[in-house]
Structure 1
Amino acid sequence: MDLYAFPPIAAVLDGAYALLMGLSDLLQPLAGASSAAFAIVLVTLAVRAALIPVGIAQAKAERTRARLAPRLAELQRTHQDNPERLQREMMALYAEEGTTPFAGCLPMLVQIPVVSVIYALFILPVIAGHPNELLTHTLFGVPLGSSLAGSIAAGTVTPATIAVFGAVVLLIALVGEVTRRAFRPVAAAGAASAPTGSGTADVAGTTGSPAQVPGIAGMQHVLGLLQFVTAVVAMFVPLAAGIYLLVTVAWTLGQRLVLRRRYPAAPSTMPPALPA
């Protein structure tokens, strides 16, 4: 069964196709052959603007988790020999405060359907029974429906392909690294620093900074890793989807920098500065 032929999915794809083609036609006088690529940028910006309330909720959740870090560390000390009890107590504490250790994943999860639609629009030769003209559009001569991995496998890779995909992948990785460094977990307010080289901080009389508290540590590690997984994914998806990923990670970094000022995770502690 062709999933893309399922009527509700076909209708969504046809609507998205009409939107992108309409935007592309409007941008044609300014962007020429790259009009569809610029249309994808505009769609990405519109999607991210619509998700600003979700970003604000995420920033508030991060601040709440930082505030809870000493209590989480105390739970870890008290129930370190009973992992099941520890998880129950942690989840109860999160529920009491109206947050979750997984709140940071929400914006990413919400965007999965959008990325899936853009992916489908640039791999299908036919959309809802009519030819897919989006496949004729390019960015600097590279088809928006091509992928770096696919081009290498087919032996059709060109210098332009390497240059365009290389720029997209490297920029995604660069944004990911800046994000990782700018949003390292910081010690909770009032936490005393541990001796140099210990890698831990004393919080409420126990060992473990917010970065080492169960849930926070794992989530921070996963979110940091995902920044670089996105760069790898961009090598295998159509260029159009890679453009979406690049714009969305750049937006995410800018939005988090703005919201961190408005909703600091640790009010009495300055975030670590980027190395010169």
Structure 2
Amino acid sequence: MNIFDLPPIAAILAVSADALAALGGLVTPAGAVVLVTLAVRAVLIPVGISVAKAAQGRRRIAPRLAELQKRYRKRPEQLQKATLELYASEKVSPLSGCLPMLAQAPVISLVYALFASATIAGAPNHLLDASLLGAGLGRHLIDLGSGFQPSDLVFVALLVVIGVVAWLNRRMALRDAAPTLATEVPGAALLSPRGPLGWAPFLTLVAAAFVPLAATLYLAVSGVWSYTERRVLRSVYA
């Protein structure tokens, strides 16, 4: 059973497809995806500001964290308690960096669904007729195995953009991360930029092999926005 055929989901997809098609009529379907991405990121600016403020707070209390680590080096339980109390008293979140990614998940899923099915609510999906520089917005990177076309170079360009901004964002996250975070806050070792999920931005490169070109375009534009926003906010909340 196709989950996209479930009545509630099909209804949402139908309304979304009509809205995207109407917007695409004013610009282009690919341009509509870009505009939707920019609109979503604009709505999430307050989330970006909260992340920047949290990073500022982590940089501010880093010397105090180092002092706690030195003081309680041989008492890990006391160190953990003191560290959590410091974060609470200073109203600093150690794990706020993942908020923008989580907030966008529903929209990314919707873009994927709109370009992943041949039909929407029982009607032909005309969004699949749209293209970006000759490459169909419903085309997948794995489809290149059936024959590479010059227009498929757009995939290469978007993957390069995603990879570069992922690397830049991770480098910035590493600079903002508290040096003692991973050992003192429960669960932080996993979510810290120095932990396994610190490489999460690069998972978009893997996802790009399985999502339609439209979703890859969303990820690329969102990635560029993310890096630009973080650079600007980092200068504001230095």
* TM-score between both structures, scaled by the size of structure 2: 0.86
Which residue is 1:258 aligned to? 232
Which residue is 1:196 aligned to? none
Q: List alignment gaps of at least 5 residues for structure 1.
A: 28-34, 187-208, 265-276
Q: Which structure 2 residues correspond to residues 224-239 of structure 1 after superposition, within 5 A?
A: 224-239=198-213
Which residue is 2:140 aligned to? 147
Deviation at 1:210, TM superposition (A): 3.2
TM-aligned CA distance change 1:151 to 1:95, over 3 Å: same
Deviation at 1:93, TM superposition (A): 2.7
Q: Distance in 2 between matches of 1:115 and 1:11?
A: 17
Q: Which structure 2 residues correspond to residues 1-276 of structure 1 after superposition, within 5 A?
A: 1-27=1-27, 35-152=28-145, 155-161=146-152, 163-182=153-172, 184-185=174-175, 210-214=178-182, 219-221=192-194, 224-264=198-238
**Structure possessing the higher radius of gyration over alpha carbons:** 1
Aligned partners of 1:148 and 1:236 also within 8 Å:
yes
* TM-score between both structures, scaled by the size of structure 1: 0.75
Q: Distance in 2 between matches of 1:5 and 1:64?
A: 46
Aligned partners of 1:122 and 1:144 also within 8 Å:
yes
Q: Distance in 2 between matches of 1:211 and 1:12?
A: 44
Deviation at 1:181, TM superposition (A): 4.1
TM-aligned CA distance change 1:96 to 1:118, over 3 Å: same
Identity of aligned residues (%): 45
TM-aligned CA distance change 1:132 to 1:211, over 3 Å: same
Q: Distance in 2 between matches of 1:150 and 1:110?
A: 29
TM-aligned CA distance change 1:122 to 1:94, over 3 Å: same
TM-aligned CA distance change 1:76 to 1:244, over 3 Å: same
Q: Kindly indicate which of the two structures has a greater share of residues assigned to helix.
A: 2
Q: Deviations over 1:57-94 (max 9, x none)?
A: 11111111111212222333344445455444433332
Per mean C-alpha deviation after superposition, the further-off stretch among 215-224 and 90-99 is 215-224
TM-aligned CA distance change 1:92 to 1:16, over 3 Å: farther
Deviation at 1:139, TM superposition (A): 1.1
Q: Distance in 1 between matches of 2:216 and 2:25?
A: 21
Q: Distance in 1 between matches of 2:20 and 2:86?
A: 45
Q: Which amino acid aligns with 1:177?
A: W
Q: Which amino acid aligns with 2:223?
A: V
CA RMSD of aligned residues (A): 2.4
Alignment coverage as a number of residue pairs: 232
Q: Distance in 2 between matches of 1:213 and 1:149?
A: 39
Q: List alignment gaps of at least 5 residues for structure 2.
A: none
